[in-house]
């Protein structure tokens, strides 16, 4: 006897709601909302006082969830904004023929390394296409929106205005599965600084705007120079080389200038020196040259 697919999906919806996440139905076997759009709204039922989209209709109410999922084997959408979630979506390249292209997980790992932080442990799901969703609770008082590829290639985020497909949902490509850590951890501060909206452009004569990636680059520069300045005896040269390689990527991407990085690392090394300045300059040069040669060049820094 086969189990009614509705009961498994109902369980998935109730499980998400029990975590405090606001769910809504997705069309069976798809990732698209099952609720009507504004153009086809009849201004009846929940829309009597005006159309309400999925983000507003998403609920944690078990009775409403049971009623909805008794009608059809809906997949489960989680509206990330009302759920207080920030979900990082690590995708896999669409073009499977170029198997050596880095996927979102590798890109995110590199992001963590550049920021000198371990990859955070939190509730995560594997998506039907083989990607990963990392769930974090949003920091109070900060309104984050979706991003698409602006943090890193193949790294998207879902927050206000976005949704994710919950574990237990099934598409022709496969099933969404929950993995490891049972709870969503708070979004780490360093990740927040990468994800939060860029500040409004400063109305100064220079007209310089600090974009998200530039903010991130500044954090990375501060972290790496601190590592060098505080490196213990016996680890200093390796730390300096690692810092130069990490920051070289941000020179290649145009987020930092070589002069800026060389100066910061020189100063950090000089303040904690057991070798000559010339020796450290050579380590920095080798690290930067290697990294710039091995990382994609995107654009030049302003
Ligand atoms: Zn409506």
**How many angstroms separate the alpha carbon of residue 25 from the centre of ligand 1?**
15
Q: Assign 3-class secondary structure to 181-237.
A: CCCCEECCHHHHHHHCCCCCCCCCCCCCCCCHHHHHHHHHHHHHHHHHHCCCCCCHH
**How many angstroms separate the alpha carbon of residue 171 from the centre of ligand 1?**
26
* Distance, CA of 91 to CA of 113 (rounded, Å): 19
Q: What is the DSSP letter of 120?
A: P
**How many angstroms separate the alpha carbon of residue 172 from the centre of ligand 1?**
28
Is the distance from CB of 183 to CB of 135 less than 8 angstroms?
no
**Length of the chain (residues):** 302
**How many angstroms separate the alpha carbon of residue 42 from the centre of ligand 1?**
6
First to last CA, the chain: 65
Residues of the chain under the 70 pLDDT cut: 1-3, 95-101, 181, 196-215, 298-302
Helices (H), the chain: 5-18, 54-57, 62-69, 104-114, 189-195, 212-229, 236-252, 258-270, 277-294
Please write the tens of the pLDDT for every residue from 18-36.
999 999 999 999 999 999 8
Residue 148's contacts (CB-CB under 8 Å, 6 or more residues apart) are 156
> 110 by DSSP, 3-state: which?
helix
- The pLDDT assigned to 210 comes to 44
**How many angstroms separate the alpha carbon of residue 82 from the centre of ligand 1?**
19
Is the distance from CB of 79 to CB of 45 less than 8 angstroms?
no
**How many angstroms separate the alpha carbon of residue 55 from the centre of ligand 1?**
12
Report pTM.
Answer: 0.65
**How many angstroms separate the alpha carbon of residue 60 from the centre of ligand 1?**
20
Is the distance from CB of 186 to CB of 180 less than 8 angstroms?
no
Six-digit token string for 156: 């998207």
**How many angstroms separate the alpha carbon of residue 38 from the centre of ligand 1?**
6
* Distance, CA of 68 to CA of 50 (rounded, Å): 21
* Distance, CA of 50 to CA of 171 (rounded, Å): 32
* Distance, CA of 91 to CA of 75 (rounded, Å): 20
**How many angstroms separate the alpha carbon of residue 32 from the centre of ligand 1?**
16
Residue 76's contacts (CB-CB under 8 Å, 6 or more residues apart) are 9, 12, 13, 16, 23, 25, 26, 165, 166, 168, 169
Residue 192's contacts (CB-CB under 8 Å, 6 or more residues apart) are 139, 142
**How many angstroms separate the alpha carbon of residue 62 from the centre of ligand 1?**
22
Is the distance from CB of 201 to CB of 58 less than 8 angstroms?
no
């009302």: which residue's tokens? Answer: 82
Please write the tens of the pLDDT for every residue from 149-177.
777 778 889 999 999 999 999 999 999 99
**How many angstroms separate the alpha carbon of residue 33 from the centre of ligand 1?**
13
- The pLDDT assigned to 98 comes to 53
Phi, psi of 117 (to 5 degrees): -130, 145
**How many angstroms separate the alpha carbon of residue 67 from the centre of ligand 1?**
18
Give me the torsion for CA of 180, 185, 191, 192, rounded to 10°: 150
- The pLDDT assigned to 214 comes to 67
- The pLDDT assigned to 207 comes to 34
**How many angstroms separate the alpha carbon of residue 127 from the centre of ligand 1?**
29
């Amino acid at each position: 006897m086969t189990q009614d697919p509705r009961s498994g999906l109902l369980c998935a919806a109730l499980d998400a709601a029990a975590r405090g996440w606001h769910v809504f139905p997705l069309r069976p076997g798809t990732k698209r909302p099952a609720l009507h759009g504004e153009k086809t709204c009849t201004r009846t039922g929940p829309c009597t006082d005006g159309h309400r989209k999925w983000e507003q209709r998403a609920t944690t109410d078990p009775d409403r969830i049971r009623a909805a999922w008794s009608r059809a084997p809906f997949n489960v959408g989680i509206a990330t904004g009302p759920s207080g979630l920030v979900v990082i979506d690590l995708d896999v390249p669409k073009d499977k023929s170029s198997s050596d292209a880095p996927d979102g997980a590798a890109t995110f790992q590199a992001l963590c390394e550049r920021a000198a932080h371990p990859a955070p442990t939190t509730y995560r799901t594997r998506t039907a296409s083989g990607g990963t969703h990392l769930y974090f609770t949003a920091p109070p008082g900060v309104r984050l929106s979706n991003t698409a590829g602006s943090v890193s290639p193949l790294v998207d985020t879902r927050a206000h205005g976005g949704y994710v497909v919950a574990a237990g949902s099934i598409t022709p490509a496969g099933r969404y599965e929950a993995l490891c850590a049972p709870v969503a951890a708070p979004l780490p501060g360093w990740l927040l600084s990468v994800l939060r909206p860029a500040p409004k452009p400063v109305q100064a004569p220079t007209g310089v705007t600090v974009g998200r990636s530039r903010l991130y680059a500044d954090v990375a520069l501060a972290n790496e120079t601190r590592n060098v300045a505080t490196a213990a005896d016996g680890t200093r040269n390796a730390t300096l080389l690692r810092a130069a390689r990490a920051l070289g990527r941000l020179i290649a991407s145009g987020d930092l200038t070589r002069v800026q990085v060389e100066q910061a690392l020189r100063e950090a090394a000089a303040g904690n020196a057991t070798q000559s300045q010339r020796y450290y300059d050579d380590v920095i040069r080798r690290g930067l040259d290697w990294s710039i040669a091995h990382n994609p060049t995107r654009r030049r820094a302003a």
